Structure 1
Amino acid sequence: MHDTADSTIDAWLTGRIPTDWTATAPPSIVIDREEITITISVTEPSLADGASDADRAESVAGRITGFREDTRDQRMAIARDAEHRFGRKVAWAVEVGGRTELFTHIAVPVMTRLRQPERLVLDTLVAANVARSRADALAWCVRLVGQNTDEWLTELRTAMTAVDDVRAKGPDAT
């Protein structure tokens, strides 16, 4: 794995992604140790004023499918370049009218040690058919925490970025 700053990855991708894909908004780029997820915002299709919610949902689904199919070769080429350059997998998503659809992405196994009270929580979720397995139950819990603490996690990530910036300016910076 390459040790590349997130800002460098972000800058490279921003320059590499075709400008016609980002006419409405810049891409959203989320980076972790294993994966880079790029979300492209696409304009919502315009329908007649009296269009039903079902028709609007279908038009959004069509726009998402169209973007996915029409850009497949270019997205694959960009992903291949980025994966080679940064040593991380690339996933793509598109956002249309408030709906985000993630295309191909990876699921990374994470080892954790849980004491009995935590395991009982997971087992309860499995027994209640909320999750198929302990792994699914744990992923469900992480998603729930992420949704309910989004503001706090954003503040924490911002603070961590500031610490990284200060550390990079330190006496041992190369």
Structure 2
Amino acid sequence: MITDKEREAVTGWFSGRLPDEWTVEPPRVSIDREEVTVVLTIPDVGDEVSGDAEPSEVAVAEARAGRARAFREDTRERRMKIAREAQHRYERKVSWGVRVGDHEELWTHVSAPVMTRLRQPQRQVLDTLVEAGVARSRADALAWCVRLVGQHEGDWLAELRDAMTAVDDVRRKGPAA
């Protein structure tokens, strides 16, 4: 499990290492055993979308996608240098993403294999998702299920992570083995 101290250290390092002109708010940094994901929020598009007229949703969406693409290309060399430093320092791959208004995209990310044993009723759930066209394979179906739980159980998962952190704190304060 990643401790709060580790999470704070990584977030602090990226906050200090990233150029100020890259973001309009602090980076969103998430970390697990394999990967550090850094999502940068850059300035939203403004009146430049369509001049004096009210821009359409399509025009704004395309302008945001274009700004994200330009940012990716313009910052690639420096981001890769920062990623190499962080990978050496934290022994994890670094993935990048950007948010412009309500447009968010990840450019790189790690897909880590996970092994699990499922009984027939759970396999049937996955097979139903595949047969319905929700997923291409059992692996995709399982990933879909995990995303769904993450979306709908965010508060519960946050509470569970807090409880695990509290247990780790109690263990550290206990007698040394």
Residue equivalent to 2:110: 106
> Counterpart of 2:117 in 1: which secondary structure?
coil
Q: Does 1:149 align with 2:153?
A: yes
In the TM superposition, what whole-angstrom CA distance separates every residue of 1:16-63 from its partner, at most 9, and x where no partner exists? 1111113x2100000000000001011111034511111101110111
- Taking the TM superposition and a 5 Å limit, the aligned residue runs for 1:110-129 are 110-129=114-133
Out of 84, 93, 96, which is 2:97 matched to? 93
Q: Does 1:36 align with 2:20?
A: no
Counterpart of 1:36 in structure 2: which amino acid?
Answer: V
Residue equivalent to 2:16: 15
What is the CA RMSD across the aligned residues, in angstroms?
1.9
> Counterpart of 1:9 in 2: which secondary structure?
helix
Give the 3 Å change call, closer, same or farther, for CA 161–100 of structure 1 in structure 2.
Answer: farther
> Counterpart of 1:15 in 2: which secondary structure?
helix
Query: Any conservation in 1 of the 2:28–2:40 contact (CA below 8 Å)?
Result: yes
Range moving further from structure 2, 43-52 or 56-65 = 43-52
Q: Distance between the aligned counterparts of 1:6 and 1:144, measured in 2?
A: 24
Range moving further from structure 2, 27-36 or 42-51 = 42-51
Q: Distance between the aligned counterparts of 2:71 and 2:159, measured in 1?
A: 33
Residue 99 of structure 1 deviates from its aligned partner by: 1.6
Q: Distance between the aligned counterparts of 1:143 and 1:164, measured in 2?
A: 26
Alignment gaps of 5+ in structure 2? none
Alignment gaps of 5+ in structure 1? none
> Counterpart of 1:71 in 2: which secondary structure?
helix
Residue equivalent to 2:6: 5
Give the 3 Å change call, closer, same or farther, for CA 121–151 of structure 1 in structure 2.
Answer: same
Q: Distance between the aligned counterparts of 2:161 and 2:92, measured in 1?
A: 20
Q: Distance between the aligned counterparts of 1:18 and 1:171, measured in 2?
A: 44
Q: TM-score, normalised by structure 1?
A: 0.89
> Counterpart of 1:37 in 2: which secondary structure?
strand
Corresponding residue pairs, total: 169
Residue equivalent to 1:27: 27
> Counterpart of 1:112 in 2: which secondary structure?
coil
Residue equivalent to 2:73: 69
Residue equivalent to 1:136: 140
In the TM superposition, what whole-angstrom CA distance separates every residue of 1:102-154 from its partner, at most 9, and x where no partner exists? 01111000000100000000011111111111000000110111111112222
Q: TM-score, normalised by structure 2?
A: 0.87
Q: Distance between the aligned counterparts of 1:130 and 1:33, measured in 2?
A: 29
Range moving further from structure 2, 29-38 or 11-20 = 11-20
